[in-house]
Amino acid sequence: MQVLQQTTFAETTRGEQLADNVARDSLIIPITRWTKFLAWGLASVLLAAGTWQILVMTNILPTDYFPDIATLVSAWAGLFTDPAFWSALGSTFYTAIVGLILGIVVGVPVGIAVGRNDILFHATRFIFEFARPVPTVALIPVIVLFFGIGVEAKLLLVFLAVVFPLVVQTVYGVRDVDPVALDTATVLRLNRWRRLIQVLLPASGPYIMTGIRITASIALLVSVSTEIIIGAPGLGLAITNAENSYALDRMYALIAMTGIIGVVLNVVVTSVEKRTSAWARVAEEGN
């Protein structure tokens, strides 16, 4: 018994040390990681800009369709003082974020329910796997027919684009939970709520956060694509208007801004994913 207690104490101490190391590294590593990320990002931008400028100067890219870098930078900087740009950005961002949140609110609970019930899992598996790869843009005619081209149509399209991948990701996360952990929860007589909060969600968290990270980019993509196709207010419509008015410098600036927003959104979600899944890294180091 004494040996068992000493072993348990040693394992607990080791686990606490690993957790402390992860907590300490979480403060130090991000500085290095973000420095490298920004350095490589800046280098990539400068390389792409230099290549673009050379291709324009050598007329490989016709200047009628591809402005030089100075013109593009000027147009990009001008967006920050343009109220129309901020209005379009707000519309796109609102649709993407609200649609993503609605997808999480619906998709995660449904995924947990399906993943925990074998009958539901086998009965709905084909439906979710079939619906997940269906392009959301294929549903635009039906959505527009019933909801028009307003915010409601965009929200519904973003929601449909993110909810099915989230359901599938959550289902497989729940079904991958260690049976020993579930048996332990049963032995300890944890009720369903405590089992959900203390066992299922922490264990399936990495799967769920990966699904959120993936669908966050999908939400922005679908929002902008919908605005381009149906003419709903937002960055997509602003890009289309710039193209129709032959303001190519503004069009490229808006496209670049859309990409920057996507990068920022992905960075934010990835940071949240790393923090919420810190326990998984502790488990890997412990093994």
pLDDT digits (tens, 9 = 90+) for 224-240: 988 888 888 888 889 99
* Banded pLDDT at 259 (limits 50, 70, 90): confident
* Banded pLDDT at 99 (limits 50, 70, 90): very high
- In this predicted structure, what is the pLDDT of residue 113? 87
Q: Quick check: 285 pLDDT over 50?
A: no
Q: Which residue has the tokens 């909810």?
A: 163
- In this predicted structure, what is the pLDDT of residue 278? 57
- In this predicted structure, what is the pLDDT of residue 283? 45
Q: What angle do CA 274, 268, 101 make, to 5 degrees?
A: 100
Q: Quick check: 282 pLDDT over 80?
A: no
CA distance 248 to 75: 9
- In this predicted structure, what is the pLDDT of residue 23? 47
- In this predicted structure, what is the pLDDT of residue 34? 67
Provide the Cα torsion 179, 185, 190, 192; round to 10°: -10
Q: Quick check: 182 pLDDT over 80?
A: no
- In this predicted structure, what is the pLDDT of residue 276? 67
3-state secondary structure of 148: coil
Please compute the mean of the pLDDT values over residues 246-258 and round it to a whole number.
Answer: 88
* Banded pLDDT at 17 (limits 50, 70, 90): low
Most confident range, picked from 18-27, 117-126, 229-238: 229-238
Range of the structural domain that residue 138 is part of? 85-276
CATH number of the domain where residue 169 is located: 1.10.3720.10
Asked, for residue 121, whether it belongs to a domain, the answer is: yes
Asked, for residue 197, whether it belongs to a domain, the answer is: yes
* Banded pLDDT at 102 (limits 50, 70, 90): very high
- In this predicted structure, what is the pLDDT of residue 159? 92
Asked, for residue 93, whether it belongs to a domain, the answer is: yes
Asked, for residue 63, whether it belongs to a domain, the answer is: no
Q: Quick check: 13 pLDDT over 80?
A: no
* Banded pLDDT at 207 (limits 50, 70, 90): confident
What's the Rg (C-alpha) of the chain?
24
Please compute the mean of the pLDDT values over residues 131-141 and round it to a whole number.
Answer: 78
Please compute the mean of the pLDDT values over residues 217-227 and round it to a whole number.
Answer: 89
Please compute the mean of the pLDDT values over residues 57-73 and round it to a whole number.
Answer: 83
3-state secondary structure 29-91: HHHHHHHHHHHHHHHHHHHHHHHHHHHHHCCCCCCCCCCCHHHHHHHHHHHHHCHHHHHHHHH
Instruction: Return mean pLDDT, the chain.
Output: 78
Q: Quick check: 10 pLDDT over 50?
A: no
**Integer distance in angstroms from the first to the last C-alpha of the chain?**
24
- The share of the chain scoring above pLDDT 70, in percent, equals 81
Asked, for residue 104, whether it belongs to a domain, the answer is: yes
Asked, for residue 195, whether it belongs to a domain, the answer is: yes
Asked, for residue 74, whether it belongs to a domain, the answer is: no
Asked, for residue 179, whether it belongs to a domain, the answer is: yes
Number of domains into which the chain is organized: 1
